[in-house]
Chains A and B, each alone.
Chain A
Amino acid sequence: MSQPSLRVPLALFAALALVPILRAAGVPIGGFVPLLLERVMVFALAAMSLDLILGVGGLISFGHAAPLAIGAYTVAALDHAGVTEAAIALPCALVASGIFAALTGAVALRTRGVNFIMITLAFAQMVYFAVSSLSDYGGDDGYTLYSRTTVFGRPWLEARSFYVTALVVLFLAWLLLRVITASRFGRALAAVRQNRVRVQALGLNAFAIELVAMVIAAMLCAVAGVLLANEAEFVSPAYGSWSHSGDLMVMVILGGIGSLHGAIIGALVVVLAEEGLGRLTSHWPLIYGPALVLAVLFLRRGLAGIGGSRG
C-alpha cells in the first residue's frame, strides 16, 4: 500500500516530454523516434490498465487485448458511419468495453486459478473472431480509417499533435490509477490479492471489488485502443489476438508488477526489442521467446526482479 517513490515515474514522463519541448524550442525531431515513442505510450497505457488487475488485484487475465480491440473497433465502426469525433467515440468505447468486462468478468470471476486464465483468454478470442468476421470493417484484413478522430473538432490526434495528446492521456491515466490504488477501493483490491477469504471475512465483497477493477481496467484499455487506431490509422483483428494479451502481460512484469509506471518501462523495452530485433532478423521471436523463458526460469523473483519489486 505504501505509494511507490515518485522519482522514477516523474523522470519517465519528463523524458517523454522532451520530444515536444525540444520541438517547441525549434529543434527538429522528426521521423523514427517520436513515432516509436507514440507506440510505446499507447501500449504503456494498455499495460498500465492491466497492471491494476494483474499487479494490484493479482488477477491473471490473459484477455486484456480484448478491450484494446474493442476500443480500436469502436473508432473503425464510427469512422465507417462517418463519425470521427472523440466526444462520441470515446464514450462509446468506454461503454462497450465496460459492458464487455462486466459480463465476461462476472463469468470468469466465478472461477480461480487456471480456469480464470483460460476463460479470460477464451473471451478475448471470441472478440478476435467476432471482429475478424465483420466484413464491413475488412474482416481478417482490417480496416483503414478515412480520417483520424477529432477532439471537439480539434485535430489533436493528427500526426502533429498525437504525441502530446498521448502523453497527456497517459499521464492522466497514471494519476487516476495512482489515486484509485491509494483509495479505500485500491486498498481493498490489494487485500483481495493477498488473501481473498480474509477480505470476505471482514465483510467486503471480494467478487464485486474484483469485477469493478476489471471494468475500470478494460475501460482504460479501450482508451488505448482508440489511440492505437488513430496512431496506425488502421484497425486489425490482430489487436485482439492472444499474443497481444501475452505481450501486455510481459510489459507489466518487465517494468515491475504493481508499480503502474513500470508499464511504461515494459512497453518501451518490448516495443524497442520488437523493432530492434525485427531489423536484425525476421526471426526475432526466436530471441524474444527463449529470452522470456530464460528470464522466468533464472531470475529468482521471476521477471519482476529485473524491474524492481512491487511498491
Chain B
Amino acid sequence: MTLLVVQALNGFQLGMLLFLIAAGLTLVFGVMNFVNLAHGVQYMLGAYLGVMFARIAGGFWSGLILASLAAGAFGLVLERLIFRHLYARSELDQVLATFGVIITLNEGVRLVWGSAPLELPMPDALSHSFQLMDGLRYPVYRVALAVTGLVVAGLLALVVNGTRAGMLIRAGASNQEMVSALGVDIGRLFRMVFGVGAMLAGFAGVLAAPLVSVEPNMGDNLLILAFVVIVIGGTGSIRGAFLAALIVGLVDTLGRSMITDFAHAVLSGPASSRVGPALASMLIYLVMAAVLAVRPAGLFPLRS
C-alpha cells in the first residue's frame, strides 16, 4: 500500500515534468505546424545550464532562473538561425534538420561538459523529507516539483484562455489562415510560442536535474515520452497535454511496479521476471495505441 502511494506520487510528478516539456511542443506542432524534434535537447540544455549557473551564481535558485532564461534565449536563437527557414519546407526537411540539431547539441554538451554525469544539488530548503504517513517519508523536493508543474499548468491555462495572445494561439492552432487574415504578425506569435516552449523545457530540465544524472542524450527519451503525451492529448491542445501527461506519468510509474507483480501471479517464476519488465516498458505505448484506435486525433483534437 505504501509502495502504491509512493509510486502514484512519483507518477504524478513524472507527469508534471512531462507536461512542462510537452506543453510548449504541442503548441509548436499545433500552432506552427512545425515538426520540431529538437525540443528534448532544450530540456538537456536546461539541466546543464542549471548546473553551470548554480555553480557560478552560487545556488539552485539563481541557477534555475538564469538557466531557464538562457534556454529560452537559446531556443529563440535556434529559431532565428535555423527553424524560421524551415516553416515553409516539407515535413521531411524539418525532420532532418531538427535531427541534425539534436545530433549537434548532444555532442556539443559532451564537448563542453564531458561525458561524465553531472549533479545538481537540491536547494537546502527542499532537501529534507517529511512524514507522509505511517512508516513513509517522502522527499519535499519531489512534492515541490509536482506543485510547480501544477502552478505552471494553471498559469498556462490562464494565458491561453484569458489573454489576447492566448486567443490568437488557440485560433492559430485551429486555423492559421484566419489568424493571418486578422492582420496578426504570425512571425511574432511563432517566436513567442517558441521562446516560451524552449524556456519551459529548460525549466523542466533544471527541476529534474537534482533527481536524475545530467548527461548527454538525457533529453532523447523524454522527448519521445513527450510525443506520446502530445499524440494522446491531441496535437495543439494544452488541456490534452496536461491530462495525457498525467496518464503517461501514472501508467508508466505504476505499471512498472504492478505489472511485475501481475506477471508473477499469472506466469510461473522465471518467465515472469523476464516478461514483466519488457511488458512494463511497453505499457504507455500500448495505451497510446489504444487511445488512437478509438480517437485517432487524440483526446482533445483541435482540428476536425
Residues of A bordering B, CB below 8 Å: 54, 60, 62, 103-104, 107, 110-111, 113-115, 117-119, 121-123, 125-126, 129-136, 242-243, 246, 249-250, 253, 283-286, 288-293, 296-297, 302-303
When the two chains form their complex, are residues B231 and A119 in contact, meaning their CB atoms are under 8 A apart? yes
- Chain B residues whose C-beta falls within 8 Å of the C-beta of A131 in the assembled complex: 278
When the two chains form their complex, are residues A122 and B231 in contact, meaning their CB atoms are under 8 A apart? yes
Given contacts A60-B91, A118-B230, A302-B93, A125 and B100 within 8 Å (CB-CB): no
- Chain B residues whose C-beta falls within 8 Å of the C-beta of A110 in the assembled complex: 292-293, 296
When the two chains form their complex, are residues B86 and A296 in contact, meaning their CB atoms are under 8 A apart? yes
When the two chains form their complex, are residues B111 and A286 in contact, meaning their CB atoms are under 8 A apart? yes
Asked whether B101 is an interface residue with its Cβ less than 8 Å from the other chain, the reply is yes
* Chain B residue nearest to A130 in the complex (CB): B278
- Chain A residues whose C-beta falls within 8 Å of the C-beta of B95 in the assembled complex: 60, 62, 117, 249
Please provide the chain B residues from 86 to 119 with a CB less than 8 Å away from any CB of chain A in the complex.
86, 89-93, 95-97, 99-108, 110-111
B279 to chain A, nearest CB (A): 8
How far apart sit A291 and B289, CA to CA, in the bound complex (Å)? 35
How far apart sit A243 and B99, CA to CA, in the bound complex (Å)? 8
When the two chains form their complex, are residues B278 and A117 in contact, meaning their CB atoms are under 8 A apart? no
- Chain A residues whose C-beta falls within 8 Å of the C-beta of B235 in the assembled complex: 114-115
A271 to chain B, nearest CB (A): 16
When the two chains form their complex, are residues A293 and B100 in contact, meaning their CB atoms are under 8 A apart? yes
User: 30 A–B contact pairs at CB < 8 A?
Assistant: A54-B92, A62-B95, A103-B289, A107-B289, A113-B35, A117-B35, A118-B227, A118-B228, A118-B231, A121-B227, A122-B227, A123-B289, A130-B278, A133-B277, A133-B281, A135-B273, A249-B96, A250-B96, A250-B99, A253-B92, A285-B103, A285-B104, A286-B107, A286-B108, A289-B103, A289-B105, A290-B100, A291-B100, A292-B100, A293-B97
When the two chains form their complex, are residues B292 and A107 in contact, meaning their CB atoms are under 8 A apart? yes
How far apart sit A134 and B277, CA to CA, in the bound complex (Å)? 8
A121 to chain B, nearest CB (A): 6
A283: contacting residue among B33, B35, B85, B110, CB under 8 A? B110
How far apart sit A120 and B231, CA to CA, in the bound complex (Å)? 11
Asked whether B282 is an interface residue with its Cβ less than 8 Å from the other chain, the reply is yes
Please provide the chain B residues from 175 to 194 with a CB less than 8 Å away from any CB of chain A in the complex.
none
How far apart sit A60 and B91, CA to CA, in the bound complex (Å)? 8
How far apart sit A110 and B288, CA to CA, in the bound complex (Å)? 13
- Chain A residues whose C-beta falls within 8 Å of the C-beta of B111 in the assembled complex: 283, 286
How far apart sit A114 and B273, CA to CA, in the bound complex (Å)? 36
Number of chain B residues close to chain A: CB under 8 A:
49
When the two chains form their complex, are residues B278 and A283 in contact, meaning their CB atoms are under 8 A apart? no
When the two chains form their complex, are residues B277 and A135 in contact, meaning their CB atoms are under 8 A apart? yes
Asked whether B61 is an interface residue with its Cβ less than 8 Å from the other chain, the reply is no
How far apart sit A286 and B288, CA to CA, in the bound complex (Å)? 34
- Chain B residues whose C-beta falls within 8 Å of the C-beta of A115 in the assembled complex: 231, 235, 297
B173 to chain A, nearest CB (A): 13
Asked whether B74 is an interface residue with its Cβ less than 8 Å from the other chain, the reply is no
Given contacts A125-B224, A297-B82, A117 and B104 within 8 Å (CB-CB): no
B224 to chain A, nearest CB (A): 5
A242: contacting residue among B224, B280, B296, CB under 8 A? B224
When the two chains form their complex, are residues B288 and A122 in contact, meaning their CB atoms are under 8 A apart? yes
How far apart sit A43 and B274, CA to CA, in the bound complex (Å)? 30
* Chain B residue nearest to A127 in the complex (CB): B282
The 10 closest A-B pairs by CB, nearest first: A289-B104, A292-B100, A289-B103, A285-B107, A129-B281, A126-B285, A133-B277, A293-B100, A110-B296, A118-B227
Besides the contacts A122-B224, A285-B106, what 7 more A-B pairs have beta carbons closer than 8 Å?
A110-B296, A253-B92, A288-B103, A289-B107, A296-B93, A296-B100, A303-B93
How far apart sit A307 and B105, CA to CA, in the bound complex (Å)? 27
A270 to chain B, nearest CB (A): 12
- Chain A residues whose C-beta falls within 8 Å of the C-beta of B280 in the assembled complex: 133
Asked whether B79 is an interface residue with its Cβ less than 8 Å from the other chain, the reply is no
Residue picked from A103, A114, A121, A133, most chain B C-beta under 10 Å? A114
How far apart sit A118 and B241, CA to CA, in the bound complex (Å)? 15
Given contacts A118-B227, A288-B103, A289-B102, A60 and B92 within 8 Å (CB-CB): yes
A29 to chain B, nearest CB (A): 33
B244 to chain A, nearest CB (A): 12
- Chain B residues whose C-beta falls within 8 Å of the C-beta of A54 in the assembled complex: 92
- Chain A residues whose C-beta falls within 8 Å of the C-beta of B104 in the assembled complex: 285-286, 289-290, 293
How far apart sit A117 and B101, CA to CA, in the bound complex (Å)? 17
A227 to chain B, nearest CB (A): 25
When the two chains form their complex, are residues B96 and A303 in contact, meaning their CB atoms are under 8 A apart? yes
B101: contacting residue among A107, A119, A289, A291, CB under 8 A? A289
Asked whether B29 is an interface residue with its Cβ less than 8 Å from the other chain, the reply is yes
When the two chains form their complex, are residues B282 and A129 in contact, meaning their CB atoms are under 8 A apart? yes
- Chain A residues whose C-beta falls within 8 Å of the C-beta of B97 in the assembled complex: 292-293, 296-297
A246: contacting residue among B93, B99, B110, CB under 8 A? B99
When the two chains form their complex, are residues A243 and B103 in contact, meaning their CB atoms are under 8 A apart? yes
B103: contacting residue among A114, A249, A292, A303, CB under 8 A? A292
* Chain B residue nearest to A137 in the complex (CB): B274
When the two chains form their complex, are residues B103 and A133 in contact, meaning their CB atoms are under 8 A apart? no
How far apart sit A139 and B292, CA to CA, in the bound complex (Å)? 29
Please provide the chain B residues from 39 to 65 with a CB less than 8 Å away from any CB of chain A in the complex.
none
* Chain B residue nearest to A252 in the complex (CB): B92
How far apart sit A236 and B76, CA to CA, in the bound complex (Å)? 37
How far apart sit A113 and B105, CA to CA, in the bound complex (Å)? 25
How far apart sit A284 and B285, CA to CA, in the bound complex (Å)? 33
How far apart sit A303 and B91, CA to CA, in the bound complex (Å)? 13
How far apart sit A243 and B41, CA to CA, in the bound complex (Å)? 14
When the two chains form their complex, are residues B285 and A122 in contact, meaning their CB atoms are under 8 A apart? yes
A136 to chain B, nearest CB (A): 6
